[in-house]
C-alpha cells in the first residue's frame, strides 16, 4: 500500500531531521519546503505540526519554525528516562514473551542485518526502534509507550549528531542478539541488565590513541 502524500511529506522531513540533513536550529518555511517537495503548503503545515509533537521542530508564532536544537545535557536526561522505562519493563516482558513474540523479534533482527548490509542507516534506526518497542509492549505498560518512542527517536538523533561515534552498522544490529538471548531464557533480571548496558553504550566514541596515551 502506497503512503498518502501528507504522510510521505512527514516521513521525508522527519528522516532528514533525524539524519541531521536538516541541521539543529535551521529555520524551515512552509513555502520553501512545499516548493522543494512539489506540493501545496497545507500538507507541509500538517507535517510540521506532527513533527512538533515529536519534538523535532519548534513552532513559535511570528518566529516561524526551526529544527529543535541538540543539547548534550537534555540528551543525557532523555537517555536516562529511556533507560528507566525499558529496564523497568524488562522483568514483565521476560515473563510475558511467547513464541509469536520471538518470531516477530527474530524477523526484525533479520531485517536489521539486511538494512545494515545495504548501508541504510535510517531503515536500521526504524527497525531498531520497532525491536525495542516490541519488547516493551510485552510489559503491558502501554501508557508509557509514546514517551519511550519519543525518547528512542531523540537518542538516535543525538547519536548520529555525535561526530566521534564510530560503530559499523552490522555491529549495531548484532548488539540486539544479547537481548534476544535473555528473552529466550525468560531471564528478567538478565534482560534488564542487558538493556541497561545496551542503552549506556548507544554512543561509541572512538578515542584518539595519542590522546588516550597522554
Q: How many CA atoms, within 13 angstroms, populate the side-chain half-sphere of residue 151?
A: 20
Which CATH architecture describes the domain 5-67? Orthogonal Bundle (1.10)
| Total-model pTM | 0.90
136 membership: H or E segment, kind and range? helix 121-137
Instruction: Name the CATH superfamily, with its identifier, for domain 72-200.
Output: GntR ligand-binding domain-like (1.20.120.530)
Phi, psi (degrees; rounded to nearest 5) at 75: -60, -40
Which own/partner pairs from 133-138 qualify as long-range (CB within 8 Å, at least 24 positions apart)? 134/101, 134/104, 134/105, 134/108, 135/86, 135/89, 135/90, 135/93, 135/105, 135/179, 135/183, 135/191, 135/195, 136/85, 136/86, 136/89, 136/93, 138/89, 138/92, 138/93, 138/96, 138/97, 138/101
pLDDT of residue 3: 75
The answer to whether the beta carbons of residues 103 and 176 sit under 8 Å apart is: no
Q: Which residues pair with 110 in a beta bridge?
A: none
How far is the CA of 78 from the CAs of 98, 153, 199, in angstroms?
30, 10, 11
Domain residue ranges in the chain: 5-67, 72-200
Q: Tens place of pLDDT for every residue, the chain, 214 residues?
A: 567 888 999 999 999 999 999 999 999 999 999 999 999 999 999 999 999 999 999 988 777 899 999 998 999 999 999 999 999 999 999 999 999 999 999 999 999 999 999 999 999 999 999 999 999 999 999 999 999 999 999 999 999 888 777 789 999 999 999 999 999 999 999 999 999 999 999 987 554 433 344 3
The neighbouring-strand residues paired with 58 are 66
Helix axes 145-161, 121-137, angle to 10 degrees: 150
**For the chain, how are helix, strand and coil distributed in percent, rounded to 5?**
70, 5, 25
| Residue in 21, 78, 85, 37 with CA at minimum distance from that of residue 55 | 78
Q: Report the pLDDT value the prediction gives residue 206, as an integer from 0 to 100.
A: 53
Amino acid at each position: 500500500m502506497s503512503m498518502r502524500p501528507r504522510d510521505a511529506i512527514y516521513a521525508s522531513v522527519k528522516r532528514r531531521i533525524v539524519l541531521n540533513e536538516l541541521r539543529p536550529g535551521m529555520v524551515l518555511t512552509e513555502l520553501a519546503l512545499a516548493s522543494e517537495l512539489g506540493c501545496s503548503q497545507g500538507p507541509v503545515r500538517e507535517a510540521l505540526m506532527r513533527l512538533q509533537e515529536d519534538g523535532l521542530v519548534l513552532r513559535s508564532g511570528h518566529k516561524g519554525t526551526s529544527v529543535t536544537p541538540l543539547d548534550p545535557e537534555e540528551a543525557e536526561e532523555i537517555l536516562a528516562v529511556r533507560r528507566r522505562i525499558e529496564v523497568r519493563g524488562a522483568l514483565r516482558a521476560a515473563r510475558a514473551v511467547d513464541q509469536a513474540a520471538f518470531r516477530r523479534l527474530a524477523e526484525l533482527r533479520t531485517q536489521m542485518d539486511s538494512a545494515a548490509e545495504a548501508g541504510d542507516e535510517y531503515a536500521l534506526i526504524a527497525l531498531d526502534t520497532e525491536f525495542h518497542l516490541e519488547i516493551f509492549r510485552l510489559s503491558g505498560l502501554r501508557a508509557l509507550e509514546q514517551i519511550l518512542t519519543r525518547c528512542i527517536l531523540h537518542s538516535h538523533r543525538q547519536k548520529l549528531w555525535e561526530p566521534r561515534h564510530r560503530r559499523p552498522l552490522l555491529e549495531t544490529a548484532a548488539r540486539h542478539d544479547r537481548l534476544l538471548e535473555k528473552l529466550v531464557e525468560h531471564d528478567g533480571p538478565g534482560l534488564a541488565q542487558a538493556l541497561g548496558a545496551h542503552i549506556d553504550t548507544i554512543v561509541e566514541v572512538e578515542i584518539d590513541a595519542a590522546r588516550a596515551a597522554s
